[in-house]
Amino acid sequence: MRHRIAVVGSGPGGLTFARVLHRHDYPVTVLERDPGPDARPPGGLLDLHEGMGQLALEKAGLLAEFQALSRPEAQAMRILDTDGTVLRDWRPDPDDRANPEIDRGHLRDLLLGPLDVQWGRGVTQVVPGSRDGVLVQFADGRQQTFDLVVGADGAWSRTRSAVSPATPNYTGVTTLETFLDDVDTRHPGLARLIGAGSLAVYGVNRALVAQRNSGGHVKVYAQFRAPLDWHTSLDLDDVDAVRSSLLDLFDGWAAPVLELLRHGTAFVHRPLYALPVSHTWTHVPGVTLLGDAAHLMPPLGAGANLAMLEGAELAESLAGNSGDLDQAVRAFEERMWERAGRWAKITTAGLERLVSSDPAEALAVFDRVQPS
């Protein structure tokens, strides 16, 4: 018997879940509110860990294709003092495949492959316990029932309320994101400063991070501790005003570092939210969550990896135990909660140290995870 299974969300976790089920010849419906795969910018690079994101891709039969698309050199990390002094300059060995980076857009296209995604299907509510299964209600007024609905719909999941009343809380750290295009030609000095991977500068309760993507595209993130309403007197749509505010906030930092902000052409406000570290729920037949929908945590390299591994593991569990859907989901949730709880503690402590009153804390974090 083949169950009616839907996954809400076409991010890395949802697509990995669908792709592994597809590999096992198991039908799955992917529901995505965006009208198409290119409706929004895909975001910055993802580093996929050997035992997590890469393992998930191996389960999907896509590891070799990932290795051809990924950028091992982008694992490089350079850390500067606010005066421009180089404090750390770590470069991976040529054959280092521990955490190679990949553009989110490339990963999305790799995972999409033969999947049939229902684009423009915004989910407004998931209601378990209906006579014919789990009822999914859509923004256009339509509705559909399934035997299992997997919420992989991110931080502000519409699926989550079917199993948990929890909502994300502001971490106290906010981010303003900007970007540079064609950096090697237009800003060669900054290209050399950033190198092949990422650049980070840590100050008192603030940080600047630049991440090289493919095609000469660089993402720049200004992070700082502030109240959630810090911008009430600032028009976030006024690029010049936002740039001026940031330059004031980072006043006194080395001129080359501030050039990362001076050349930013647009700024996107991204306050950082997280779910409680120990977030779990009482099992609800027919509905479960994975990724940020289940355990939103600070963005320190674990989120997408966890979501992908969870998607792959849940898919394998369902394919191998199709006779008892509920038992497969229960077993998955127990494994997920234990692992995600550990990572939530790690990333929460990491954010506290990376954006803190003592910049030396950030160096200590780096030194623990990188070889000398």
Task: Please state the domain extents for the chain.
Answer: 5-73+100-168+275-354, 169-274
Helices 104-112 + 12-23 axis angle, to 10: 30
Chain centroid, CA 114 distance in Å: 23
Q: Which CATH number fits domain 169-274: 3.30.9.30, 3.40.50.20, 3.30.465.10, 3.40.190.10?
A: 3.30.9.30
Instruction: Using DSSP, state whether 201 is helix, strand or coil.
Output: strand
- Residue 40 pLDDT: 84
Q: How far apart are CA 16 and CA 13, in angstroms?
A: 5
Beta bridge partners of 146: 134
CB 358 within 8 A of CB 208: no
Q: pLDDT truncated to tens, each residue of the chain (372 aa)? A: 579 999 999 999 999 999 999 999 999 999 999 999 888 877 778 999 999 999 999 999 999 999 999 988 888 999 999 999 999 999 988 778 788 999 999 999 999 999 989 999 999 999 998 889 999 999 999 999 999 999 999 999 999 999 999 999 999 999 999 999 999 999 999 999 999 999 999 999 999 999 998 889 999 999 999 999 999 999 999 999 999 999 999 999 999 999 999 998 899 999 999 999 999 999 999 999 999 999 999 999 899 999 999 999 999 999 988 678 999 999 999 999 999 999 999 999 999 999 999 999 999 888 877 654
Give the list of residues 6+ apart from residue 308 with CB closer than 8 angstroms, or none: 12, 13, 16, 48, 52, 53, 56, 57
At the fourth CATH level, the homologous superfamily of domain 5-73+100-168+275-354 is FAD/NAD(P)-binding domain (3.50.50.60)
Instruction: Using DSSP, state whether 352 is helix, strand or coil.
Output: helix
- Residue 372 pLDDT: 45
- Residue 239 pLDDT: 95
Query: What's the CA angle centered on 110, arms 103 and 149, to 5 degrees?
Result: 105
Tokens representing residue 82 in the block: 């606010």
Give the list of residues 6+ apart from residue 245 with CB closer than 8 angstroms, or none: 234
Tokens representing residue 20 in the block: 């592994």
